[in-house]
Amino acid sequence: MIDSICWVVAIMVFAAVEAGTAALVSIWFAGGSLSALIASLLGANVYVQVLVFLVVSALCLLALRKIAFKNMKAGNGKTNLDRIIGQKVIITEMVDNINRQGAADINDVKWKVKSETGEVIPAGETVTVTDIEGVKLVVRR
């Protein structure tokens, strides 16, 4: 009975650690603990329970980590800012890459702007956003 309680506590600890992190760090151990709990309830001795915990945890680690990394590749998702690319904007401050000046407003937010081709673009000109480099919009006529 005491070993069953230990496995329940282990499940809760591993689940709490997993819930408190943004990365997969302990979910496989929660799965191993659950399997060991089942072995305990079926009457297995402590050595068998530990073996079940280790084997199932290792299998969960191998299976879940491979699936998780396949589906969570960094950098391949679009952000909300990507919707700005392709929009037409009106230049509010002359764009001059050499003097590092230029601005445009999008949705009441003032953005620094640079010209894609390096040309000077006067205020009032309508341009198209082609890219975002850090905090600057890259535009072309």
Residue 83 backbone dihedrals phi, psi, to 5 degrees? -70, -15
Domain boundary among 16, 41, 71: 71
Same domain? 9 vs 57 = yes
Compute the distance between CA of residue 21 and CA of residue 62 in angstroms, rounded to an integer. Answer: 19
82-111 pLDDT, tens digit per residue, is 788 999 999 999 999 999 999 999 888 899
Provide the domain limits for residue 18.
2-71
* Contact present, 19 and 31 (Cβ < 8 Å): no
Q: What is the mean pLDDT of residues 107-135?
A: 93
Whether residues 90 and 121 share a domain: the answer is yes
Please tell me whether the overall predicted TM-score, pTM, comes out greater than 0.75 for this model.
no
Of 11, 41, 71, the residue that ends a domain is 71
Residues 66 and 104 reside in one and the same domain: no
Write out the two tokens for 42: 């079926």
Read off the pLDDT of residues 68-90 as tens digits, 9 standing for 90 and up.
777 666 555 566 777 889 999 99
53 with 95, same domain? no
- Per the listing, tokens 């396949």 go with 70
| Whole-number Å distance between alpha carbons of 85 and 131 | 6
Structural domain ending residue among the three candidates 12, 43, 71: 71
Is residue 1 predicted with pLDDT exceeding 90?
A: no
Same domain, 62 and 87: no
Amino acid at 99: N
**Cα–Cα distance between 137 and 85 in angstroms, integer?**
9
